[in-house]
Structure 1
Amino acid sequence: MIYAIGDLHLDYTEKKSMEVFGKAWENYQEKIFNNWNKIVKKEDTVLIVGDISWAMNIEEAYIDLKKIDDLNGEKILLKGNHDYWWSSLKKLNDLDFKSIKFLQNNSFFVEGYDICGTRGWISRDNSEFTDHDEKVFKRELQRLKNSLDFNKENNKKIVILHYPPLNSDKSLNEFFGICKDYQVEYLLYGHLHGPGHKQIFEGIVDGIGIKCVAGDYINFLPERIS
């Protein structure tokens, strides 16, 4: 089976509080680790859609990532906006985890699906969107295409993003447009917490199942996708 969850915000130092985003974040790390192996079996795969660890460098992140590695299932990880520790793909792969793969300009074939994705970015109609944001936005669109093109086989596809594929009015943006062009089956995202949940859009549009899997939104229970 394939599951998904995002925004674990692990912090082995326990110095970073997420409770400002609501009661759902009380003892959230305990919830994550208690829930995971009750739901996920060793033969399953979990897609983690960014904001994985509060660590600032790869050495510190290793401590949190090792905890994930020790949980049941294979894991495919995507960079979020707070994953400052995320390094080059070579350095990440050199960590040599037994069950973790890193998604960036590539894809992984799992249970009949190509797992594709990229971080994404804030929408172009955001009031704070700048020329720099435009450069990042275009780069992220290209990274999504790179990922979707990585496997030349005509497989079914699941796309994971960190940022929602949404404009400020909850209409679908260019990231969804690419998914439509590639006939993606599922489009998953995270990033939205607490009051931000009112910005969530879910449903089936043009045959694509759109779902938010931010940790607090799904009560830190990995969501079954397929």
Structure 2
Amino acid sequence: MIYAIADLHLDATKNKPMDIFGIEWENHEQKIFQNWIENVRNDDLILIPGDISWALKLEEAKVDLMKINDLPGQKVLIKGNHDYWWNSVAKLNSLGLNTLHFLKNDSYLYQGIAVAGTRAWSSKDSELFTEDDLKIYNRELMRLENSLKTIPNSAKFKIAMLHYPPFDLNLKPNDFFYILKKYEVNICVYGHLHSQGHKYGVEGDVDGIMCHLVSSDYLDFKLKKIWSDEIESNS
């Protein structure tokens, strides 16, 4: 099984109570972990597309990462816009958290299924989009392509993880989506959207790519199953 959930927004420091964003966020960490323990097996894969911890420094984030590491399953993580603690992959791997796999310009293979991805960036049609945003946007496009290029030819299925949606504010595919098409990605999972922002989410089959919005509050803090042998055989 492969599950996905984004925007865990864990906070070991207790400085960022999420319930200020709505009553549904009360005890959200407990809700996520309880559902995780009840459903996930050690041989399952969990995709976490960013905004993992509110920590500012890696040593603070390690407490949250250790909690995830101790949960069932193997986990693949990408950076979100709030993951300021994110460091070089070498530094992240040096933490010794053996069930966590941090993606950056590379991919991960699980039972013949390839997982690639990057943070992506905000939509170019946002009125707040600046020249500085454009530099980040273009760099993230390059990182996505670099990640997808590492997928081995033997991969039988391709999943892309993004933090930001691969759609503009008018719900049309953007440059990130077209790169996914170029590399024949089968499934795309993304997060970032909360509360009223859920209206900018696009789900279902979009030009041959199955898209899933997996922000934790959108999922009622429950992991979403995005792949299994049964799902594949019915697709």
TM-score (normalizing by structure 2): 0.94
The one-letter amino acid of 1:10's match is: L
| Preserved contact between residue 9 and residue 51 of structure 1 (Cα < 8 Å) | yes
Trace 1:8-19 onto structure 2 (pairs within 5 A).
Answer: 8-19=8-19
Q: Secondary structure at the match of 2:189?
A: strand
1:38 aligns with 2:54: no
Paired position in structure 1 for 2:100? 100
Report deviation, 1:219. Answer: 1.1
| Preserved contact between residue 3 and residue 224 of structure 1 (Cα < 8 Å) | yes
Q: 1:98 to 1:154 in 2, by over 3 A?
A: closer
| Preserved contact between residue 10 and residue 52 of structure 1 (Cα < 8 Å) | yes
Q: Secondary structure at the match of 2:177?
A: helix
| Preserved contact between residue 201 and residue 213 of structure 2 (Cα < 8 Å) | yes
Distance in 2 (alpha carbons) for counterparts of 1:90 and 1:48: 19
Paired position in structure 2 for 1:166? 167
Report deviation, 1:198. Answer: 1.4
Distance in 1 (alpha carbons) for counterparts of 2:83 and 2:200: 22
The one-letter amino acid of 1:88's match is: S
Distance in 1 (alpha carbons) for counterparts of 2:5 and 2:152: 27
Aligned alpha-carbon RMSD (Å): 1.0
Report deviation, 1:49. Answer: 0.6
Residues 148-172 of structure 1 show CA distances to partners (whole Å, capped at 9, x for unaligned) of: 0013325221001000111111111
Q: Secondary structure at the match of 1:170?
A: coil
The one-letter amino acid of 1:104's match is: K
Residues 45-97 of structure 1 show CA distances to partners (whole Å, capped at 9, x for unaligned) of: 10001000000000000000000000000000110000000001110111111
Deviates more, 1:18-27 or 1:174-183: 18-27
The one-letter amino acid of 1:61's match is: A
Deviates more, 1:37-46 or 1:148-157: 148-157
> Alignment identity in percent?
50
| Preserved contact between residue 6 and residue 52 of structure 1 (Cα < 8 Å) | yes
Residues 96-123 of structure 1 show CA distances to partners (whole Å, capped at 9, x for unaligned) of: 1120010110000112211000000001
Report deviation, 1:19. Answer: 1.9
| Preserved contact between residue 21 and residue 193 of structure 1 (Cα < 8 Å) | no
Q: Secondary structure at the match of 1:109?
A: strand
Q: What count of residue pairs does the alignment treat as equivalent?
A: 226
Trace 1:63-212 onto structure 2 (pairs within 5 A).
Answer: 63-155=63-155, 156-212=157-213
Paired position in structure 1 for 2:230? none
| Preserved contact between residue 21 and residue 195 of structure 1 (Cα < 8 Å) | no
Report deviation, 1:26. Answer: 1.0
Distance in 2 (alpha carbons) for counterparts of 1:171 and 1:152: 30
Distance in 2 (alpha carbons) for counterparts of 1:19 and 1:110: 35
Residues 159-215 of structure 1 show CA distances to partners (whole Å, capped at 9, x for unaligned) of: 010001111111110111011111110011000111111111112012100110000
| Preserved contact between residue 51 and residue 83 of structure 1 (Cα < 8 Å) | yes
| Preserved contact between residue 69 and residue 97 of structure 2 (Cα < 8 Å) | yes
Paired position in structure 2 for 1:22? 22
